Structure 1
Amino acid sequence: MQSNKLSDDVEGNPDRVDPFYQQGKVACVMFTVLLLLSFLVIGIVTALNFKKNSQEDQTRGLLSDDITPIPFQYKGDRGLCSDGWVLYRNTCYLIMNVYGTWELSKSLCHNFGAHLMVVNSEEELEFISRVVQKRTDYWIGLKRDTMGQWSWVNGDHYHSNPHFWDENQPAHWDMESCAHLKGSDTVHRKLMQDADCHRQLYHICERKL
């Protein structure tokens, strides 16, 4: 009886909307919206995964053994060092032509069984200055922690030798916490400066014989 009454009401009043039809219409709209949102989420996730995979592929490529050192300006004695490395006393050095952050440069050196260069003496610094390109900056294995303390990547104790730092360096307390050798045409020996660890620089690896 109720169904017949509802049908009679609809037929008697053409402007009256069937509530079942209205509910079905709302449900259809909601389903369409949810479907579009699902496609949007899938698209975003796919794009993020593609970007992540591309970055991982790029990093794996950088960590491969196909990386070649830049041509040396100084023809040093390779000695017992591997091809592409140069010998100074009992240490082999590799000058890398790969731009990277300080952390990536550290990983690349580790891939060669080495670590970022640790400056032990003024004589060593002068030697490296003759090997590398004059105008180019190079990451070395010195970093400042959140407490403001500098430390070398190989665990050596840090000595604040004024001959290693450039004038008025290190300068920035918060923003620049990684050390690099500054390129210059005016000095015969490269000096250390602090820099933002996310800068893209070349780097120097070293390993003991």
Structure 2
Amino acid sequence: MFEGKDGGSSEKNRRFLVKMALGTNNVEMSFQNELKSSGTNSDFPADLRENNISHESHFGFSKLLFALLLILFLLKEILLSVSFIIFFQKNSQLLEEKNYKSSIKEMIHTNLECVRNNSTMKGKVWSCCPKNWKSFSSSCYFISTEAKSWNESQENCSGMGSHLVVINSKKEQDFITQNMDRNAAYYVGLSDPEGQGHWQWVDQTPYNQSAAFWHAGEPNYGGGHCVILNYRGEHPQWGWNDNICNIRQRLVCEMMKIYL
């Protein structure tokens, strides 16, 4: 009986050990299988993920920086383009105004009388004056038979692209007067707006006393602030005297010749 008991007990112990052994092996096999499925280094997947995140962050920052630089470059190009357009428009406007001023005489006077140009002006073959104007030196002169005040006379000349005549020499005056009516008087472009003896020409030419051709006793400052050219005197000749600006007189206009 004792042996039987011992034998049964031994059998149970043997079965227990076998189960324990089998269980241990299963645990080991399961653990080994997990290692095989995850690789030999359990830290590698985590490191790989960190590297991928770092690389993606760096790539995203580079894209953002490139986009900002591209935007700045485009803004700079736009500003340069706008500045160029504004500059071009302003210069075009100035050029148009200059061309308009230089061609206003041609637009006003379409009927010209021209002679071959003997000057050294490059590319200019002809020197011209409007029809019915007189040519002398580098100027053209229009002697009007209408009577107007001094201001109206200047406006009349300005409307023809000219101004009241500015006399710079005795030769110029002699040329003009040979085409004038001795019984009339003609406004010239000399005035003293303040009545203080400060004479000034309409084209801003400085007044030169040595090139002034006043009649004897003139100017007498008797309320006359504008100058007329007339024929009178003890020994009649053409000369200047001051005149009340509102009195209507004839006029002489002057303009530069037109060169073609």
TM-score normalised to the size of structure 2?
0.47
Change (3 A) 1:188 1:88: farther
Q: How far apart in 1 are the matches of 2:241 and 2:200?
A: 14
- 5+ residue gaps, structure 2, are 1-107, 109-126
Q: How far apart in 1 are the matches of 2:145 and 2:205?
A: 26
Q: How far apart in 1 are the matches of 2:177 and 2:237?
A: 5
Matching residue's letter, 1:87:
S
Instruction: Give 3-state SS (helix, strand or coil) of 2:143's partner.
Output: strand
137, 159, 162: which one aligns with 1:111: 159
Q: How far apart in 1 are the matches of 2:219 and 2:233?
A: 21
What is the CA distance between 1:187 and its match in structure 2?
Answer: 5.7
Aligned to 1:166: 215
2:244 equivalent to 1:196? yes
Q: How far apart in 2 are the matches of 1:132 and 1:123?
A: 15
Specify the structure having the higher radius of gyration (Cα): 2
Instruction: Give 3-state SS (helix, strand or coil) of 2:245's partner.
Output: coil
Q: C-alpha offsets along residues 122-173 of structure 1, whole Å, 9 cap, x if unaligned? A: 1111111111112210000000031431000000000113751110111125
CA-based RMSD: 2.0
Instruction: Give 3-state SS (helix, strand or coil) of 1:128's partner.
Output: helix
Q: How far apart in 2 are the matches of 1:190 and 1:145?
A: 24
Q: How far apart in 2 are the matches of 1:163 and 1:106?
A: 20
Matching residue's letter, 2:128:
L
Q: How far apart in 2 are the matches of 1:187 and 1:96?
A: 26
Q: How far apart in 1 are the matches of 2:233 and 2:144?
A: 20
Alignment of 1:12-27 (within 5 A): none
Number of residue-to-residue matches in the alignment:
131
What is the CA distance between 1:178 and its match in structure 2?
Answer: 0.3
What is the CA distance between 1:186 and its match in structure 2?
Answer: 7.2
Aligned to 1:149: 198
Matching residue's letter, 1:168:
G
98, 101, 126: which one aligns with 2:146: 98
Contact 1:135 1:185 in 2 (8 A): no
118, 121, 142: which one aligns with 2:169: 121
Instruction: Give 3-state SS (helix, strand or coil) of 2:144's partner.
Output: strand
Alignment of 1:59-70 (within 5 A): none
Contact 1:126 1:189 in 2 (8 A): no
Aligned to 2:253: 205
Q: C-alpha offsets along residues 29-81 of structure 1, whole Å, 9 cap, x if unaligned? A: xxxxxxxxxxxxxxxxxxxxxxxxxxxxxxxxxxxx9xxxxxxxxxxxxx621
Q: Percent identity?
A: 26
Q: How far apart in 1 are the matches of 2:174 and 2:244?
A: 24
Change (3 A) 1:135 1:159: same
Query: Higher mean Cα deviation, 141-150 or 92-101?
Result: 141-150
TM-score normalised to the size of structure 1?
0.58
Q: Which has the higher contact order (CA 8 A, sep 6+)?
A: 1
Matching residue's letter, 1:109:
C
Change (3 A) 1:188 1:207: farther
Change (3 A) 1:141 1:163: closer
Change (3 A) 1:162 1:171: farther
